[in-house]
Chain A
Amino acid sequence: MTTVNDLHPKAMDLAESAFLYRNKGEMETAKGLFLEALALEQQAASLLPAVGESEPSRSVLYRSAASLAYNAGEFDTADRLVAYGLSGYPPPEVKAELKNLYDEINFMRHLEAKGIELAEDRWLMSLSGNATSYGRTLVDHLMLRMETVKVLFYRTVERLLGQDYRLSGGVDRDIKEKYGVYVNAFHRSSFAVEFQLGRPEPQLALFAESSEHKALEPAIVIDEVMSCFEILEGTEPHRLRERIDDEDYYANFVALAKKIAPDGDAIKLVGFNHIVNGREKPVALRKSREQLETPIEPSELIEQSERKPMPPVTLEGILTYANTPRSKRVSKKGKARKYGTVKLTVPETGATHKIEVPIALMKDVVQPYYEERVTVKGFERAGHFYLDEVLPTT
C-alpha cells in the first residue's frame, strides 16, 4: 500500500529540482517539475483523514502542495488545496501560513497583467485593501506610493551609476532627462498603475565612456528595485545590506520601501509586476511597515551603551523646521553618521521636540512633510529622540 512516506520524499526531490531549474532561468522545465511534484504531494496529503490525529502532517502537506501549485502558477488548484488544509485541524502556525498563502494566491491573480502588454521598461504597481475596490482607490494612499516609487527609482539610478549619495538638491537634470519616470495608465484590477522608465538615447549607450553618465538599461534598474523589494519581503531581509553596501543608500531604500509598504487594513498588499527575460516576475509586498526592517538599527544611532534597550517613542505634531546637517558624529565603533534635525510642535500644548534624523532619511522621507501634521516613530536615548519612521497623521 502506498504511504505518505513513499510519495512525499519523491515530491520534495522533484520540487528541489524545480527550484534549481527556476534559479537557472529554465522556467518551463521548472514548471513541469512543480506540476509533477504537486501531483505526488497532493496524493500524499489526501491519504490523511481530516482528524486531529493526522496533524500537523496533514496541514503541512496541504500547505506544501498548495505552495507547489502556487509556484506552478496553478492558482485555482492552490486555492482548493489551502481550503483542504484549513478544513482539518491545523496547528495555529500552519493555519496562519495557509491563510497567508490564500491571500498571496489571490493577490497574484490580481497582479497577472491580464490584457496588458508590459514591456521591459515598464512595471505595474497594484494596491489591494479596504481603501481600494475594483478600479478605485483613495487618492492619498495612491499618491503617497506613486511619489515614493518615483523617488526610489531616481535614487536607484544614482546608486547604479556609482554616484555618491545626494544629501541635498534635486535629481540631476541629465538623469531626469535620460531616466524619467512616467505614469502610462491606470488599470482596473485591485487598483493598478503602470509606470515606465525612460531609456537613454542609443548613441549614449554606444559611447558610454565619453558621456557624463554611463548608460543603464531601464530593465536593469527596474529589476534591481524589484529584487531589493523581494529581499526585504523575504526571510533574509538583512541580505539587502550586502546588496546595497553604501549605508546611506541602504537606509534610504528601506525608509522609502516602508512608505510604499502595506499600512494595515486600508492597504493590505502592494504588488509589483515587471518583465524579466520576456516573462512576468511579480513581487508582492505583504509585510506591514512595522514588520519591515528598521532603516538604521537603534544601536547604530547612539554613541554609547549600544546594548541598552532604547524605548520606542511615538510623537505627533506639526513638522516646523528641518535642518540638513553639516557635521558627522563618530560612534564608539568608529562609524561616522550624519544627522539632520527636525522640530516637531504639538499645537495643543505648544510643546516642541527636537528629533535627530539620519541623513539618508532627511531629504526624501522627512522634508516632504514640512509644515504638515505627522506622526513620528522612533527611539529615545538620554533625552534625544531618534527618528525611525514619519507618516502623515490620519
Chain B
Amino acid sequence: MDEAGFPTLSLDRIRDVAQVSEGKAKHLMETCVWALLHCNHKNGVRLNVLHGKDSEFYIVRWREDALNEQDVRRSYNRDDATEYGAEAVALLISVGRGPYDAIERAITTTGIDYWLGFKNRKPNEPFHRAGRLEISGIMTETQSNTVEGRVRDKLRQTRPTDHTFPVYIIVVEFGQPYATMVLKDDDSE
C-alpha cells in the first residue's frame, strides 16, 4: 500500500505471483518500465484497473537499483515494450482476482500461453480447473486503436469453439495508464 492506500504492483516481484524464469521476469520488468517511461510516467505511477463495474487504482513501482533506465531505453523497441510490458502488468493484476492464486505456462508456436491456476494443485495436474489468460497491450490509445476495440477482438477470437475453460482477457494501455479485465461470458460485464 502507498500513502493514498492504493495497493502496489511491484514490477521487480513478478516471480512472487508467476512461475517465470529469472531472465523472463527481468525482461518483463524492463519492457514495462520502457513503456511507462516512453509515456512519460514515473516510478510510482497510478494505474487504474477496470473489472466489470469495479474500478481500482494500483501504484506501479520498480526498484531503482534493479535496472538502469538508460540501458532499458536502449534495449527495447515499442513493439517489445507493448507486448511484454502488458504481460508484466497482466500477470501482476490477474492473480488474486477470482479464485486463482498462481500462473501456469504452456508453449504455443509463437510464444507463451498463460493460464490462471492454483498453487495447491495435485502434482501431476498443473492445468486442473485452470482458466485461460489472454493478454493484449496498447502503447497509447487512438481513435482507431482502443482498449474497448481490443477487448472486442479478443472476445471474437475466442468465439469459434464452445469453450470449456473460463477465459480472462486483460488489455493494458500505457498512455493513461489503465487496464481492463474481462471474463468472457461473464453476465455481469
A contact residues vs B (CB 8 Å cutoff): 3-6, 8-9, 12-13, 15-17, 19-20, 23, 37, 41, 47-48, 54, 56-57, 60-61, 63-65, 67-68, 70-71, 91-93, 96-97, 101, 104, 234-239, 241-243, 247, 297, 300, 333, 335
Contacts and interface: CB of A to CB of B under 8 A. Distances in A.
Nearest to A243: B79
A5 B112 contact: no
Given A61-B106, A235-B157, A92 B162 contact: yes
B108 A20 contact: no
Interface in B24-50: 24, 27
Contact of B145 (A5, A19, A47, A238): A238
A268 to B, nearest CB: 16
Contact of B163 (A12, A23, A92): A92
Given A12-B107, A234-B110, A17 B164 contact: no
Given A67-B107, A236-B136, A239-B79, A333 B143 contact: yes
B161 interface: yes
Q: Which of A37, A63, A96, A247 has the largest number of chain B CB atoms within 10 A? A: A63
A297 B152 CA distance: 12
A93 B107 CA distance: 15
B21 interface: yes
Interface in B93-139: 105-113, 115, 121, 123-128, 130, 134, 136-139
A247 B144 contact: yes
Interface residues of B, number: 48
Contact of B82 (A20, A60, A234, A239): A239
11 contacts: A12-B21, A12-B107, A15-B105, A20-B23, A37-B107, A41-B107, A57-B126, A96-B160, A237-B153, A247-B144, A335-B143
A107 to B, nearest CB: 11
B165 A64 contact: no
A9 B83 contact: no
Contact of A48 (B21, B107, B124): B124
B103 to A, nearest CB: 11
A301 to B, nearest CB: 12
A241 B146 CA distance: 11
Contacts of A71: 107, 109
B7 interface: no
Contacts of A15: 105, 107, 112
A68 B107 contact: yes
Contacts of A97: 108
A63 B110 CA distance: 13
B185 to A, nearest CB: 13
A6 B19 CA distance: 12
A104 B109 contact: yes
Given A56-B127, A57-B126, A16 B24 contact: yes
Interface string B138-178: 11001111000110010001001111110000000000000
Contact of A91 (B124, B138, B143, B164): B164
Contact of B126 (A8, A93, A101, A239): A8
A57 B124 contact: yes
User: For B137, B144, B162, which residue has the most chain A Cβ atoms within 10 angstroms?
Assistant: B144
Contacts of A300: 143-144
A93 B164 contact: yes
Given A41-B107, A67-B107, A5 B136 contact: no
Contacts of B112: 12, 15-16, 19
Contacts of B110: 234-235
Contacts of B150: 238
A133 B46 CA distance: 58
B30 to A, nearest CB: 11
B145 A20 contact: no
A57 B124 CA distance: 8
Contacts of A41: 107
B164 A92 contact: yes
B137 to A, nearest CB: 8
Nearest to A15: B107
Closest 7 CB pairs of A and B: A13-B21, A3-B123, A64-B106, A16-B24, A67-B107, A12-B105, A91-B164
B23 A17 contact: yes
A5 B124 contact: yes
Nearest to A231: B79
